[in-house]
Chain A
Amino acid sequence: MIKFERHLLSNGLTVISHYDANTPMATVNMLYRVGARNEEPGKTGFAHLFEHLMFAGSAHAPSFDEPLERAGGENNAFTNNDITNYYEVLPADNIETALFLESDRLQALNINTHSLEVQRKVVMEEFKENYLNQPYGDTWHLLGKLAYKKHPYQWPTIGKKLSHIAQASLADVQLFFDQHYAVNNAILSVAGNIKSNHIFRLAEKWFGDIPAKSLKENSIPEEPVQNKARVKEVFADVPLDAIYMAFHMGDRMSRSYYLSDILSDILSGGKSSRLYQKLVQEKHIFNEIDAYLTGYLDPGLLIVEGKPARGIDSNDAIKAIRLELNKLMLEKVENRELQKVKNQIEAHHAFEETNQMNKAFSLAYFEMLGGAELLETEKQYYRMANAVSIRDEAVKIFKRQNESTLIYRSNKKEKKS
């Protein structure tokens, strides 16, 4: 269990503190409630591009990294479909340097033609390195578009295409900043060797005077219910075929989330899991197979992905997966198997709590979900899940009309045969 205290500033900034006397370090985590789902369909990749620009320096810190490195710290950030998250890890007695830097860039970021020009190029290289240069690198572009027709989850964080990034103008990014970067759209959490009342004092000092902003109305379109199975096949220069099956499930705060998570663990949590035992070990239909959740805030997806063994037709491989999914819809899971999954989840939660950075991030993330207390409540939800509700969830999400399947067919195989 992670103990924490909470303090709300009058401008709307929420501050969470976790005190740990067993470390000389501290982690400052600043979470903004903005991600790719807040982008316009014609201007995608902005949340992530903006994350890069946040390192361009600010009025009192021409370089963001230098003071932090000088303070013996390091930092990084990530963007996903829902949030943009920044963190600094540094010796606890230098914590003010991190707070100063976060405060300064929120108030007076240097966005200019040069920094935008360079970061556009860097992000385009990232796009190439991770999405275009890699076999199967465009999976999320294809699968998102297949599973979502209205909701912005149809594009990945990097953006729909290179051109959206290439065309981002200074006015565009400035507008994005004004609409989303505000104290009242952020959560600050600090974990480490600093007492809570000290953190709260420092938070008042560095963030207390920053005025709240009126935020952009949250007008994210809801995804209509899917009522027909979808399939997309692509031919690509990949060494093996690959299959991605996506099933719509509930949002992050729904019961569906926990039950689907358990379903994905029954399917592929470890080598004793059903998909691995049956389809890899026993029948050699797949070389590798996995099932997981996207973990989105709004209704997300349960994904089953696998690479069929050489010589196995992808259509047969898909049938084999469906057979396993059907079992979950028809038969209740046995006690021992359910207990196994619950043990795995309990262990996973315990492992997560050993790392300071994880703790700081989890506190901020759950605070955003509705309250950092949910970190503990969530464990209860998992413990309470029973075989009947799991089967009912399987019936809901694994029905055929809820399925979107992406198949990569290997060009290489074609040429050889």
Chain B
Amino acid sequence: MSQIRIPVINTIKAVKFTFPPLHRLSNRIPVYFLPSEGPEIVSLKLMIRHVNLGISDLLVSGATATQLREGIRGKEKQEISNQLDYYGVRFSASSQADFTLISAMFLSKFSEEVLALISDLLIHPVFPETALNLFKQRAIERVRLNKQKVEFYSGKLSRKCLFSDKHIYGYTAEEPDIDSLNRKQLIDFHAEHYRAENISILLTANGINHPETLLDRYLGIIPKASKASPKLKSIYHPEEEKYRYQQMDNPFQSSIALVKHFPGRESDDYYPLSLLTTILGGYFGARLMKNLREDKGYTYGIYSTVRSLVNANYFSLRTEVAAKHTESAYQEMIKEIKQLRTSPVGKEELQLVRNYLLGAMMRSIDGPEQILKRVLNMLILGQDETSFQRYIETIHTTNSKQLLALANQYFEPDSFYHIVAGPKK
């Protein structure tokens, strides 16, 4: 034991990333394709960009996505589910404020049959009334279930503070909204959004010949829009009140959140701020985790991150803590934020975070499936491949002095929204 020689750690120098080759279907839909090794399977992601959504569209887009498989012209709904299941397809369809994502993973030997089916449900869904009613019931039950969780309230309040509940980014659906959903809204949403102009496809496959030809046959026939939708600037109004407390009935835990707007992706500060956020609470060994979990045992986990949406970026720091430790945990969080503003990040710590992040970047592009996930994210945010390299450079070059200056500019404690859902004070 005593003569043990601790292994030398190799620092990560280069992480290279390029977009996969781009190909266009007959209807001009861009396809990013990467061949894969290993099992003979296909993984397809189809992203539909949302344009000019109002708050009610958040629910509508989600309902539209999940109801695609409930029935298509000329086919009973059981038939679609039967076929998707028969071929063992892992199918999912969901939406967020900025986009809808349809994903399917299946055995290559069933490619023809599965793509024909997916083509049908993207182009000819009928959105039957009965299935929609069932969807509504289930959505309402989910809302009721969420209302028993402290983290639901801190999340809801965070979004409301940042964007107001009049904007799609700040809005949380309530029971009456779900109740008033109707079939016509889904049909209209589908007609406007499920159009070639809004769609991007990412594909990885092993064991199929000419995937481009195959895709073109089934997805190259998705129609184009009759007229282009004008793109409006999305405007939101953050709320004034910075300190919020939501009182709950005797919870075991409180949920605490600190959030604020961060500068846009075009700003030189965007990537360095991401680095600073990581130092504060972005990985298991981060300051907040060390302090609140590993030193004091207040919480099972605490994380800070920068969230990026098409029209906004914000800092978010969240945790659930033992109810009786609410105040002390909150004070420690503020203390760690102040610490970033007063003492420079040490050399050792900075080097560790650099390597950790570079390793994380390597993992995030390890294999075709991971690469396409990364590309998808970049397409949604309108980034090109140079942004990846910019982030890598930032990780390598940002120094303690710059981080200290950034902390002073952006981490003034009063500039955050302070949100707590917890027991009676």
Which residues from chain B contact A288 at a C-beta distance below 8 Å?
138
Which residues from chain B contact A107 at a C-beta distance below 8 Å?
1
Which residues from chain A contact B131 at a C-beta distance below 8 Å?
281
Distance to closest chain A CB from B139 (angstroms): 10
Which residues from chain A contact B106 at a C-beta distance below 8 Å?
347
Q: Is B295 interfacial (CB 8 A cutoff)?
A: yes
Q: Is the CB of A72 within 8 A of B6?
A: no
**Range for the number of chain A residues in contact with chain B:** 35 or more
Q: Is the CB of B367 within 8 A of A118?
A: no
Q: Is the CB of A350 within 8 A of B41?
A: yes
CB neighbors of A among B32-77 (8 A): 36-41, 69, 77
| CB-based nearest A residue for B5 | A100
| CB-based nearest B residue for A284 | B134
Q: Is B78 interfacial (CB 8 A cutoff)?
A: yes
- CB contact between B351 and one of A70, A93, A269 (< 8 Å): that residue: A70
Which residues from chain A contact B235 at a C-beta distance below 8 Å?
none
Distance to closest chain B CB from A273 (angstroms): 7
Q: Is the CB of B10 within 8 A of A23?
A: no
Query: In the docked arrangement, what's the CA distance between A240 and B141, Å?
Result: 8
A347-B107 in contact given A96-B7, A125-B299 (Cβ < 8 Å): yes
CB neighbors of A among B300-331 (8 A): 300, 320-322
Which residues from chain A contact B300 at a C-beta distance below 8 Å?
122, 125-126, 129
Q: Is A156 interfacial (CB 8 A cutoff)?
A: no
- CB contact between A135 and one of B69, B148, B322 (< 8 Å): that residue: B148
- CB contact between A343 and one of B6, B87, B369 (< 8 Å): that residue: B87
Q: Is the CB of B362 within 8 A of A91?
A: yes
- CB contact between A273 and one of B85, B87, B89, B294 (< 8 Å): that residue: B85
Q: Is the CB of B362 within 8 A of A122?
A: no
Which residues from chain A contact B12 at a C-beta distance below 8 Å?
72, 91
Query: In the docked arrangement, what's the CA distance between A239 and B77, Å?
Result: 30
| CB-based nearest A residue for B131 | A281
- CB contact between B81 and one of A118, A270, A309, A346 (< 8 Å): that residue: A270
Q: Is A377 interfacial (CB 8 A cutoff)?
A: no
Which residues from chain A contact B41 at a C-beta distance below 8 Å?
347, 350-351, 354
Which residues from chain B contact A307 at a C-beta distance below 8 Å?
141
Query: In the docked arrangement, what's the CA distance between A116 and B343, Å?
Result: 31
Which residues from chain B contact A239 at a C-beta distance below 8 Å?
141, 144-145, 147-148
Q: Is the CB of A125 within 8 A of B253?
A: yes
Q: Is A163 interfacial (CB 8 A cutoff)?
A: no
Query: In the docked arrangement, what's the CA distance between A343 and B107, Å?
Result: 9
Which residues from chain A contact B358 at a C-beta distance below 8 Å?
72
| CB-based nearest A residue for B358 | A72
Q: Is the CB of A347 within 8 A of B297?
A: no
Q: Is the CB of A269 within 8 A of B85?
A: yes
Q: Is B251 interfacial (CB 8 A cutoff)?
A: yes
Interface string of B282-304 (1 = CB under 8 A from A): 01110000000111111110000
Which residues from chain B contact A100 at a C-beta distance below 8 Å?
4, 6-7
Which residues from chain B contact A71 at a C-beta distance below 8 Å?
9-10, 355, 359
Q: Is A326 interfacial (CB 8 A cutoff)?
A: no
Interface string of B127-147 (1 = CB under 8 A from A): 000010010011001001101
Q: Is the CB of A70 within 8 A of B81?
A: no
Which residues from chain A contact B77 at a C-beta distance below 8 Å?
281
- CB contact between A354 and one of B284, B321, B369 (< 8 Å): that residue: B369
- CB contact between B352 and one of A69, A91, A277, A280 (< 8 Å): that residue: A69
Q: Is B84 interfacial (CB 8 A cutoff)?
A: yes
Which residues from chain B contact A22 at a C-beta distance below 8 Å?
37, 367
Q: Is A94 interfacial (CB 8 A cutoff)?
A: yes
- CB contact between B88 and one of A125, A128, A135, A346 (< 8 Å): that residue: A346
A340-B253 in contact given A71-B359, A129-B300, A287-B137 (Cβ < 8 Å): no
Q: Is B222 interfacial (CB 8 A cutoff)?
A: no
Which residues from chain A contact B283 at a C-beta distance below 8 Å?
69, 74
CB neighbors of B among A222-265 (8 A): 237-240
Q: Is the CB of B284 within 8 A of A65?
A: yes
Q: Is the CB of A356 within 8 A of B366?
A: yes
CB neighbors of A among B243-270 (8 A): 251-253
| CB-based nearest B residue for A209 | B1
Which residues from chain B contact A108 at a C-beta distance below 8 Å?
1
Q: Is B213 interfacial (CB 8 A cutoff)?
A: no
Query: In the docked arrangement, what's the CA distance between A356 and B320, Å?
Result: 31
Distance to closest chain A CB from B278 (angstroms): 11
Q: Is A216 interfacial (CB 8 A cutoff)?
A: no
Q: Is B375 interfacial (CB 8 A cutoff)?
A: no
Which residues from chain A contact B22 at a C-beta distance below 8 Å?
none
Q: Is B187 interfacial (CB 8 A cutoff)?
A: no
Query: In the docked arrangement, what's the CA distance between A129 and B147, Å?
Result: 15
A287-B138 in contact given A63-B285, A69-B355 (Cβ < 8 Å): yes
Q: Is the CB of B7 within 8 A of A340?
A: no
Q: Is the CB of B85 within 8 A of A69?
A: no
In the complex, 30 of the A-B residue pairs with CB atoms within 8 angstroms, ordered by the A residue number, are A23-B366, A25-B362, A60-B4, A69-B283, A69-B284, A69-B356, A70-B9, A73-B359, A90-B359, A117-B297, A125-B300, A125-B320, A125-B322, A133-B150, A135-B145, A135-B148, A135-B149, A237-B148, A239-B145, A272-B82, A272-B86, A277-B81, A340-B82, A340-B88, A345-B88, A346-B88, A347-B41, A347-B88, A347-B107, A351-B90
5 additional A-B pairs beyond A91-B12, A128-B322, A351-B41, beta carbons within 8 Å, are A60-B4, A72-B362, A117-B297, A271-B84, A347-B87
Residues on A lying within 8 angstroms of B by beta carbon are 22-25, 59-61, 63, 65-67, 69-74, 89-91, 93-94, 96-97, 99-100, 104, 107-108, 117-122, 124-126, 128-129, 132-135, 237-240, 269-273, 277, 280-281, 284, 287-288, 307, 309-310, 336, 339-340, 343-348, 350-351, 353-354, 356
Residues on B lying within 8 angstroms of A by beta carbon are 1, 4, 6-7, 9-10, 12, 36-41, 69, 77-78, 81-82, 84-90, 105-107, 110, 131, 134, 137-138, 141, 144-145, 147-150, 251-253, 283-285, 293-300, 320-322, 351-353, 355-356, 358-360, 362-363, 366-367, 369
